[in-house]
Amino acid sequence: TIECPDWYDVDGIQDYSLYAWTTDISQRTIIAFSPEDNFQVRLPAGDNETSLLNLVVYVRDLVGSVTQVNISSVNIIADFATINDLIDKITNLSSTITNNPIVRLLSSGNQNVVGQMFISLSQEFNQMNNDNLDKAISSGISAIDISVSSLGSQSLQQ
């Protein structure tokens, strides 16, 4: 939960934006946006190099001025069991998919929550893909022989 209850601006506060990054601030990603001074967030896990996530809130007033407020960095641990459960249920077209916590969050109708989940999932899926590529290459498969095709594409036999 992000709370900014004591923030005051003579022009009035328009909104709050929360951004996060691991090691390179130029790679920061918006995590949440809210006109409220108290909002819940689901933070993405870091990369394989670090689980430390740096956070900053940008407070915008009604005339468009922005103030940056740094928040203490936090350590994040990915919930691989839930992610793997989601993958398994999608792969096997399980009727119990709605029991998965990720699916419940995606079904919440809350735009911030859905966006945060997509960010977290895409980062985790990208990391899984990179790990699989590294394993393939370290097992002797040439990087030239590895290709990634888009979802729904069909393989051409040569």
* 8-state DSSP, 151: T
Pairing of strands 13-21, 52-61: antiparallel
Query: What's the pLDDT at 9?
Result: 79
For 148, how many CA atoms within 13 A lie in the half-sphere containing its CB? 7
Model confidence, pTM = 0.62
Of 38, 53, 77, the one marking the end of a domain is: 77
Asked if the structure places residue 148 within a domain, the reply is no
Per-residue pLDDT band at 36 (split at 50, 70, 90): confident
CA distance 100 to 86: 6
Asked if the structure places residue 144 within a domain, the reply is no
Give the CA angle between residues 123, 128, 130 to the nearest 5°: 95
pLDDT tens per residue across span 46-76: 666 568 889 999 999 999 899 898 988 998 8
Q: Are residues 99 and 52 in the same domain?
A: no
Of 55, 77, 99, the one marking the end of a domain is: 77
pLDDT tens per residue across span 109-123: 888 888 888 888 888
Burial 41-73 (b: 16+ CB within 10 A, else e): bbbbbbeeeeeebbbebebbbeeeeeeeeeeee
- Tell me the percentage of the chain whose pLDDT exceeds 70: 88
> What residues make up the domain containing 82?
78-139
Mean pLDDT confidence for 9-28: 88
Q: Are 71 and 41 in contact (CB under 8 A)?
A: no
For 6, how many CA atoms within 13 A lie in the half-sphere containing its CB? 1
Compute and round to an integer the Cα radius of gyration of the chain.
20
Rounded to 10 degrees, what is the CA torsion of 156, 127, 24, 57? 110
Query: What's the pLDDT at 38?
Result: 84
Mean pLDDT confidence for 24-32: 87
Q: Are residues 52 and 117 in the same domain?
A: no
